[in-house]
Structure 1
Amino acid sequence: MSGTLPYREGRLCEGRVVVVTGAGRGLGRAHALAYAAEGARVVVNDLGVGPDGTPDPDSPAAQVVEEIRAGGGDAVAHGGDIATPDGASSLVHTALDTYGRLDTLVNNAGFLRDRMLVNLDEDDWDAVLRVHLKGHFLPLKHAAAHWRAETKAGRTPTARIINTSSGAGLLGSLGQGNYSAAKAGIVGLTLVAAAELARYGVQVNAIAPAARTRMTETVFAETMTAPGTGFDTMAPENVSPLVVWLGSPASDGVTGRVFETEAGRITVMEGWHPGPTEDKGARRTPREAGETVRKLLAEARDPGPVYGA
């Protein structure tokens, strides 16, 4: 078992063990480095694939591990496919076998295969749903099983899960029906997990980040371009402070929430709430139903625009 990091007063995650999926590049890499800087020992997961999920011969997980170690931190690489039961199980066991514990899981892995719906192949639908939604569910399931066992053994953890949704999952995004559906599903998964796992000392939240990554720097090239000088609003490192705080004991009591975050902005998203309503107390005719809907829509707030519309 690896030794603990030297204690530094005030570090939020001193001695905690954190797993970050898709941590070889972009947001995941930024999260892994930020956790290490706050005293965590990090399991750096990355399958090492291209932006569309095809094999990449140069897996970056080991490079991130070396960055962390060069800065005086402690990390280990994991190259398994977290969208398979064996890969997700081995991810959790890598943390337990290496460090003897698991405290925080950050689900971040994903890729894009963008098409308008009429051109979207079933394989591209399945691949994106698999890596984003199944790739969140399986690591969450295996981590939660470990924390439930700890609770039953009288060792209730201070455990944290941070899931990665997107503005596309909250509002939709043209040309990203598969990605939007997956990211919306992650929000639903987050809410259910927060309710079910609270009894085991687990808090579950989600972020909807905007940052420059391999998935966004081409799709939103103008917005994502780094400035020559001044504050780089789209740097992925801007998102990581919130992720680190949510994964630390300092976030006690915060669960079942979704946060939009980019640049220096953090927004608590409030989700679906009942709007205007009318109860007739009896069955309506179709024409009456339509008249009621028109009346209620006139009183309701307009939804936010779909990205790209």
Structure 2
Amino acid sequence: MYTIRKNNISVKAVADFLDISYSGPNFFISSANSLNNISDNSVLFYAIAKDKSNQIIKNMNYDLKKLKQFKNIILITNATLDKTIDIPILFSKNPKLDFYRVILEFFSENNFKNGIHPSSVIEDGAILGKDVYVGSHCYIGNNVKIGNNTKVFDNTCIYGETEIGSNCVIKSNTTIGSEGFGFIPTDDGLFHLPHVGSILIGNDVWIGSNSTVEKSHLDQTIIEDDVKIDDLVQIGHNTIIKQSTQITSGCVIVGRVKIGKNCWISPHCVIDVGCELGDNCIVGTSSLVRTNFSNNSVIVGSPGRLLRKNESSVR
């Protein structure tokens, strides 16, 4: 959704934007770079995780002394550097967040503005808020409501009684509101259970490409505010995902699952039918969860077992 924007901005302006006190040299920077691709006149970041017991991605080791080879660079960091590394620094409590705030503000632009692509089908009963973007070849059904500033990207289909909040992102090739997978054996074959419920999606929700969200049998499938769902994720019928939980790529959330607030579900996990996770849980990569776990559980393995209790939150 974003592309690089050329700019020249002073270090003082960056510090003011981040509300960080700075008294060093006031030069201009023209790019934001990683520590693997450094150039002159750039801003970079380096972070040390303070809570090592709760790390999902471990610190990477860099030879920061190489920074001295470059001119007019500024480092956003929470680390105390060796005195031999004499470069300008912006001290930040959250260097990664502040670095990407700088990119968003000064060095990127959004390619997608509001509007509806002419190839998309918006049924007469659909209700779209202000400044909604709908990409090419989408289908928005009769009983769909979409809030302000939400973006629906190419080849996405939204069916049934579905309500999506404001400031959401629905990436390409995603299906929301489809029939769930439910069959009962009979003498005449497998009888499909009709799914006549609804879907409620809150504000600031992100749903990745090639993902599916099934409507419920009778009640609601619910995704609360600020939930972030990666690509290739299946959300089964009657599932409830609470606020600020993150579900990464390739996960299968089977029907009637309840996931608490602020959880982290690692790639390729399966949360089996009817299981409940409390708040602040972490599920390790490729785990199969087949039972309930309480708040602050760190879960690993197949079948999933409690590795430890984590008293700090995921974020």
Which TM-score band applies after superposition, normalised by the shorter structure? under 0.3
Give the alignment's TM-score, normalised by structure 2: 0.21
Give the alignment's TM-score, normalised by structure 1: 0.21
Greater fraction helix = 1
Query: Which structure carries more relative contact order (alpha carbon 8 Å, separation 6+)?
Result: 1
Q: Flag the structure with larger Rg.
A: 2
